[in-house]
Amino acid sequence: MHQSKTDKPLKIPQHVAIIMDGNGRWARQKFLPRQFGHKEGVNSLKRIVKHCVHLGIKVLTVYAFSTENWARPEEEVSFLMSLMEKTIHTEIQELDEQGVRIRMIGDRTTLSQQYRQLWERAEERTHSNNILQLNIAFNYGGRNEIVNAARSLIQDVLAGKLTFADITEQQFSNALYTQNLPDPDLIIRTGGEYRMSNFLLWQAAYAEWYFTDVLWPDFGTEEFEKALESYTYRERRFGRVLEK
């Protein structure tokens, strides 16, 4: 049993999502190019994935690359792309052995064949694992996801596969990239900003948020447990009144 500092057992969320912010600033503070921050960010992610497996968290969703990130300088975009590709290639075996199932969430329709294949191969290789589901939000935007879901539902209605009345919140959720996954219980944002940045807009409806000034490359297991400790003390009411 994992204890919090106050001896209350840590409440382990089923699904944790993370906005991994602050890589660039971490590097700048050390007078290094931003790329060093991203590299160190990958190490941070590896630590957190391992810790999720250790704690028994079932789903981890990380914001790796947004639909807006393409507007960064070309050099940074191509660095990030090759860093992710390399990381997948070097880590896939260990992830597979740890029982991690990888899934890319994001818009595949506008991806080049190279990146579509990268994710498809990682997904195929790990599809029967069930210790931790690692969702990598890549070419992801919450508004884009909602618009695409609406489009696919309209298509189904026009094709006679669904009726207007079939379109419920549940049906809508199933049309999102996250499909049948549970909504995130806890969303962590590192790097000191207090905004959603187009991340999991629909799914975050009842999530608990945890913000920290710690920059992503410095976010270790101790910081992660601080977030879980904070979550342990939250009272989740989902809009209802809890009986005392």
Active site residues: 21, 69
Among 13, 24, 106, 141, binds ligand FPP (CB under 6 A): 24
Sheet with strand 186-189: strands edge to edge: 100-105, 132-140, 59-66, 15-19, 186-189, 208-211
Could you tell me the sign of the dihedral formed by the alpha carbons of 213, 132, 148, 87, in that order? positive
* Strand positions, DSSP E, 69-227: 100-105, 132-140, 186-189, 208-211
Q: From the CB of 34, what's the least distance to ligand FPP, in Å? A: 6
Residue 9 or 192 having the CB closest to ligand FPP: 192
Query: Cβ distance 41 to 25 under 8 Å?
Result: no
> Contacting ligand FPP (CB under 6 A), which of 4, 10, 11, 25?
25
Q: Which is nearer to ligand FPP, 45 or 186 (CB)?
A: 45
Residue nearest to ligand FPP (CB): 24
Rounded Cα–Cα distance for residues 108 and 140 (Å): 9
Q: Which of 57, 59, 64, 214 binds ligand FPP (CB under 6 A)?
A: 64
Residue 45 near residue 217, CB atoms below 8 Å: no
Query: Where does this chain touch ligand FPP (CB under 6 A) — which range of 36-44, 93-101, 103-111, 165-173?
Result: 36-44
**At closest approach, how far in Å is the CB of 45 from ligand FPP?**
5
State the Cα–Cα distance between residues 231 and 129, nearest whole angstrom: 27
Does residue 173 interact with ligand FPP by CB under 6 A?
A: no
- Give the x/- contact pattern for ligand FPP in 104-143, rule: CB under 6 A: --------------------------------x-------
Euclidean distance between CA atoms 223 and 164, whole angstroms: 46
Give the nearer residue to ligand FPP in terms of CB position, either 114 or 170.
Answer: 114
Distance from C-alpha of 207 to C-alpha of 193, rounded to nearest angstrom = 17
Angle 18-215-88 from CA coordinates, rounded to 5°: 55
Q: Does residue 88 touch ligand FPP according to CB under 6 A? A: yes
Place of tokens 């840590």: 10
Q: Does 84 bind ligand FPP (CB under 6 A)?
A: yes
Q: Which is nearer to ligand FPP, 21 or 185 (CB)?
A: 21
Q: List residues binding ligand FPP (CB under 6 A).
A: 20-25, 38, 41-42, 45, 64, 69, 84, 87-88, 136, 191
